[in-house]
A and B are shown apart, each in its own frame.
Chain A
Amino acid sequence: MKVLVPVKRVVDYNVKVRVKSDQTGVDIANVKMSMNPFDEIAVEEATRLKEKGAVAEVVAVSCGVAQCQETLRTAMAIGADRGVLVQTDAELQPLAVAKLLKALVDKEQPQLVILGKQAIDDDANQTGQMLAALLDWPQATFASKVELADGKATVTREVDGGLETLTLKLPAIITTDLRLNEPRYVTLPNIMKAKKKPLDTVTPEELGVDPAPRLKTLKVSEPPARKAGIKVADVAALVDKLKNEAKVV
């Protein structure tokens, strides 16, 4: 069975982004970029399924600018067998990415697509569900455990108030939550090997998809700043402040 793993190049999760002064967006020039953390978990899960023998091939996919090749190489260093870049400089929103991925799924015919539950830049949490809808496949979002057997996936999901378990008929879509696994560190030999793995490039036009954004961003602004707080000396002072100044207890 073949697994497709979409990965996104995003601003590194440790970077505190700044809003541009003209309010057109956040400043990502010269900022460290990395693979979206949830996507790393997705690549790791696909690789583990392959190591268990449940999966034959893992294909990593990324949509975006030419530099997304680096993200694909990282996926291949973790364990993906090959990469596909849908190259475009256009702004891509989740619906457009879902359509690009659908076109690739039609071409590659995987039995499973594993995505991250959300990207830490747009925080949308949509692409996996949208892809499932476009393909009419079942979905299991926010997965913390995945088992494949007999043409079915049994997935434990993190939901409000606890966990729930579903079985999905394959082919299916799974999106990863943080606790699904701990991605391995990529080693230097694996980085070198990844450079030799195949990486194909296609364009949205070749896939017959119009990636035009549907939502227009009118402006991006700073969140309201909190006024500076104070440090109190001891518990008595804290209780006094909470009772008499903030009046919350």
Chain B
Amino acid sequence: MTTLVIAEHDNAQLKGATLNAVAAAAKIGGDVHVLVAGANARAVADQAAQAAGVAKVLLADAPQLADGLAENVAAQVLAVASGYSHILFPATASGKNVAPRVAAKLDVAQISDIIGVESADTFQRPIYAGNAIATVQSADPVKVITVRTTGFDAVAAQGGSAAVEDVAAVADSGLSSFVGREVAKSDRPELAGARVVVSGGRGLGSAENFKILDPLADKLGAALGASRAAVDAGYAPNDWQVGQTGKIVAPQLYVAVGISGAIQHLAGMKDSKVIVAINKDAEAPIFGVADYGLVGDLFQVVPELTSAL
């Protein structure tokens, strides 16, 4: 029984989500191999080789793998897939994009967003926006899985000493091509992996007002998040969205400011260790999950809180 973990990376840096997926692979048992598919990505393969618990790293290095196109990456995974009992992807935008393509080609079901491993064929996953947890068993010969990164503590990035093996890259499918990327620049920690998250909702009222959260986030060393309402209203960029259809976070501290707490938002943050809610409506559902709630005007409370910390 050997598990293949598909690395998440940007051709220079291995992304933390990979280490969470390796942790899930370790729980399944057996050897863990990591596939790095990219262009000029040897540095990523070297980083993956140092991750605790990784026995071997496969590196497929070619220009057609540079931008993570689903057609090419899925073909690359299939090219090396024989012999693996489990194929794991982090449940990130790229993992979710590629994993079902691999599963369908293998004619097996895919298991999305697992948060627990009961045995080599039985897994737990949230359904209905996290309002229920399903325990599912797969009878397929190969288990293709995406791993909810907040469900597993990352393995150590250092301490391993796996060998890196070059594998042949697949040819370009020619079906799709990459045009460009607009990356939102941020000096703050990455939302999905941040220890503290400060999130704003519709209560902020405008993109200008959203800046009231900056000093608080700076003081806490926090990533900034937002509810769907705030994103749709244009107060915050869409990759800040926390919720069922945005990012799933589980930080040590989650501060929800001016967020009512719709089911879809709670699905993205209710596994946070400590939740603080600041809202002027005492009946807002967010207070149902908050460890500490403060009813008040956020335009007074937030600056006061910032200076008190």
Residues of A whose CB lies within 8 Å of any CB of B are 11, 13-14, 16-17, 19, 26, 38, 93-95, 98, 117-118, 120-134, 136-142, 144, 154, 157-169, 172, 177-179, 213-223, 226, 229-232, 234-236, 238-239, 241-242, 246, 248-249
Residues on B with beta carbons closer than 8 Å to the beta carbon of A242: 253, 274, 276, 292
Residues on A with beta carbons closer than 8 Å to the beta carbon of B131: 16-17, 19, 26, 223
B126: Cβ under 8 A from any A Cβ? yes
Shortest beta-carbon distance, A97 to chain B, in Å?
A: 11
Q: Which of B31-39, B98-106, B163-171, B201-209 contacts A (4 or more CB under 8 A)?
A: B98-106
4 pairs of A and B residues whose beta carbons are closest in the complex: A129-B100, A138-B175, A214-B109, A133-B104
Given A165-B180, A218-B136, residue A16 in contact with residue B263 (CB < 8 A): yes
Given A121-B128, A246-B274, residue A164 in contact with residue B182 (CB < 8 A): yes
Query: Are B126 and A165 closer than 8 Å at their CB atoms?
Result: no
Given A159-B93, A214-B138, A232-B292, residue A130 in contact with residue B104 (CB < 8 A): yes
Residues on A with beta carbons closer than 8 Å to the beta carbon of B117: none
Shortest beta-carbon distance, A99 to chain B, in Å?
A: 9
Residues on B with beta carbons closer than 8 Å to the beta carbon of A238: 276, 292, 294, 305
Shortest beta-carbon distance, B21 to chain A, in Å?
A: 14
Instruction: Select one of A94, A122, A160, A172 contacting B239, CB under 8 A.
Output: A160
B12: Cβ under 8 A from any A Cβ? no
B43: Cβ under 8 A from any A Cβ? no
Query: Are A125 and B177 closer than 8 Å at their CB atoms?
Result: no
| Cα–Cα distance between A235 and B255 once the two chains are bound (Å) | 13
Given A161-B184, A164-B180, residue A130 in contact with residue B101 (CB < 8 A): yes
Residues on A with beta carbons closer than 8 Å to the beta carbon of B263: 13-14, 16
Residues of B within 8 A of A (CB-CB), count = 89
Interface residues of chain A: helix, strand, loop or mixed (majority): mixed
Query: Are B181 and A130 closer than 8 Å at their CB atoms?
Result: no
Query: Are A235 and B304 closer than 8 Å at their CB atoms?
Result: yes
With A141-B97, A172-B175, A246-B253 given, name 18 new contacts (CB 8 A): A16-B131, A38-B245, A94-B110, A125-B96, A130-B103, A130-B104, A133-B105, A139-B71, A161-B239, A165-B181, A168-B176, A178-B232, A215-B136, A220-B134, A230-B293, A238-B294, A239-B309, A248-B253
Residues on A with beta carbons closer than 8 Å to the beta carbon of B228: 178
Residues on A with beta carbons closer than 8 Å to the beta carbon of B294: 231-232, 234-235, 238
| Cα–Cα distance between A139 and B94 once the two chains are bound (Å) | 12
| Cα–Cα distance between A237 and B263 once the two chains are bound (Å) | 28
Query: Are A158 and B71 closer than 8 Å at their CB atoms?
Result: no
Residues on A with beta carbons closer than 8 Å to the beta carbon of B176: 138-140, 166-169, 172
B1: Cβ under 8 A from any A Cβ? no
Given A95-B103, A235-B301, residue A219 in contact with residue B245 (CB < 8 A): no
- Taking CB atoms and an 8 Å cut-off, the chain B residues in 245-297 that contact chain A are 245, 247, 252-253, 263-264, 270, 273-276, 282, 287, 289-296
Query: Are B179 and A166 closer than 8 Å at their CB atoms?
Result: yes
Query: Are A158 and B239 closer than 8 Å at their CB atoms?
Result: yes
Query: Are B104 and A95 closer than 8 Å at their CB atoms?
Result: yes
Residues on B with beta carbons closer than 8 Å to the beta carbon of A226: 270, 275, 289, 291
B236: Cβ under 8 A from any A Cβ? no
B160: Cβ under 8 A from any A Cβ? no
B181 (CB) vs chain A CBs: closest residue:
A164
A175 (CB) vs chain B CBs: closest residue:
B97
- Most B CB within 10 A of own CB, among A16, A132, A220, A238: A238
Query: Are B136 and A217 closer than 8 Å at their CB atoms?
Result: yes
Residues on B with beta carbons closer than 8 Å to the beta carbon of A127: 100
Query: Are B132 and A231 closer than 8 Å at their CB atoms?
Result: no
B244: Cβ under 8 A from any A Cβ? yes
Query: Are B179 and A218 closer than 8 Å at their CB atoms?
Result: no
Given A138-B173, A238-B305, residue A158 in contact with residue B244 (CB < 8 A): no
Residues on A with beta carbons closer than 8 Å to the beta carbon of B102: 133
A127 (CB) vs chain B CBs: closest residue:
B100
* A–B pairs, 27, beta carbons within 8 Å: A13-B264, A26-B127, A26-B131, A94-B110, A120-B128, A121-B127, A124-B110, A126-B103, A130-B104, A133-B74, A133-B105, A138-B70, A139-B101, A160-B92, A161-B184, A165-B181, A166-B178, A172-B176, A177-B245, A178-B228, A178-B232, A214-B138, A218-B136, A220-B127, A229-B293, A232-B293, A239-B305
B66: Cβ under 8 A from any A Cβ? no
Shortest beta-carbon distance, A38 to chain B, in Å?
A: 8
Query: Are B127 and A160 closer than 8 Å at their CB atoms?
Result: no
- Most A CB within 10 A of own CB, among B96, B97, B228, B301: B97
Contact with A along B34-71 (1 / 0, CB 8 A): 00000000000000000000000000000000010111
| Cα–Cα distance between A74 and B52 once the two chains are bound (Å) | 52
| Cα–Cα distance between A36 and B170 once the two chains are bound (Å) | 37
